[in-house]
A = this chain, B = another copy of it.
Amino acid sequence: MRKALQNPDNCAVVRTMGYIGGKWKPIVLIRIFTGVKVRFGKLTVQMPDISRKILAQQLKELEEDGLIIRHSYMEKPPRVEYELSELGKTLIPVLKAMNDWGEQMENPGACPTWNPVI
């Protein structure tokens, strides 16, 4: 669905959904934004409910879409770090708005998304 939604003929909101729609993308972006030297394994620990396969897939799509940058260091065992791209950073206001709405909705404070987690 992602690629279909990104179709330039679609309305703006629909296109946006093409980039951040999906169960995990918004939270993955926030984790990458609020973290430092964010590694794959760190993300799996922070978000135990997302499977490794899905996480890898979402990261790949986010990279394809130019929202995050993947730094791969040629070491053994491997080390990979993710960070938001400049384009990805422009999404912050959107993610913040979504976060704020969800917070005032109910259960404020469950999983404090916006506060950095080590």
Which A residues are closer than 8 A to B by beta carbons? Answer: 1, 5, 8-17, 19, 21, 23-24, 26-27, 30, 90-91, 93-95, 97-108, 110-111, 113-114
Contacts and interface: CB of A to CB of B under 8 A. Distances in A.
Contacts of A26: 13-14, 16-17
Contact of A110 (B10, B19, B100, B110): B10
Contacts of A94: 94, 97-98, 101
A98 B27 contact: no
**Copies of this polypeptide in the complex:** 2
9 contacts: A1-B23, A5-B23, A12-B101, A12-B102, A12-B105, A12-B114, A21-B23, A93-B101, A94-B97
Contacts of A106: 8, 15
Given A1-B23, A30-B13, A101 B90 contact: yes
Contact of A102 (B9, B13, B97, B102): B13
A96 to B, nearest CB: 8
B98 A9 contact: no
A30 B13 CA distance: 9
